[in-house]
Amino acid sequence: MLLMASRLLLAACAATTDCLHGKIPNGIILLGYLLGISYRIMGALDVGWGVLILRMLWPILALFPVFLIRGMGAGDLKLFSLLSLYSEFEVMLYLMGIALTLSATGALVRMVRRKELGLRLWNLKNYAVDCLLNGSISPYKSIGSEGSTIHMGIYILLACFLVSIWEVRG
Q: What is the pLDDT of residue 126?
A: 86
Q: What is the pLDDT of residue 137?
A: 78
What DSSP assignment string belongs to 130-162?
HHHHHTS-------SSS-----HHHHHHHHHHH
In a structure prediction context, what are the per-residue pLDDT tens digits for the chain, which is 170 residues long? 888 999 999 999 999 999 999 999 999 999 999 999 999 899 888 888 999 999 999 999 999 998 988 789 999 999 999 999 999 999 999 999 999 999 999 989 988 998 888 888 888 888 888 888 888 877 777 766 566 678 999 999 999 999 999 989 87
Q: What is the pLDDT of residue 140?
A: 74
**Domain edges within the chain:** 2-169
Q: What is the pLDDT of residue 128?
A: 85
Q: What is the pLDDT of residue 145?
A: 59
- Identify the H or E element spanning 15: helix 2-21
Spatial separation of the C-alpha atoms in residues 143 and 31, rounded to whole Å: 36
- Dihedral sign computed on CA atoms, order 92, 139, 16, 103: negative
Q: Are 14 and 157 in contact (CB under 8 A)?
A: yes
Residues contacting 91, CB < 8 A, separation 6+: 163, 167
The pTM for the full model equals 0.86
Spatial separation of the C-alpha atoms in residues 81 and 58, rounded to whole Å: 7
What DSSP assignment string belongs to 45-69?
S-S-HHHHHHHHHHHHHHHHHHHHT
Tell the burial category of 114 from Cβ atoms under 10 Å away from its Cβ (0-12, 13-18, 19+): middle
**Could you report how far apart the first and last alpha carbons of the chain are, in Å?**
13
Q: Give backbone dihedrals phi and psi of 161, rounded to 5 degrees, phi first.
A: -60, -45
Please report, to the nearest 10 degrees, the dihedral formed by the alpha carbons of residues 31, 95, 76, 157 taken in order: -70
Tell the burial category of 38 from Cβ atoms under 10 Å away from its Cβ (0-12, 13-18, 19+): exposed
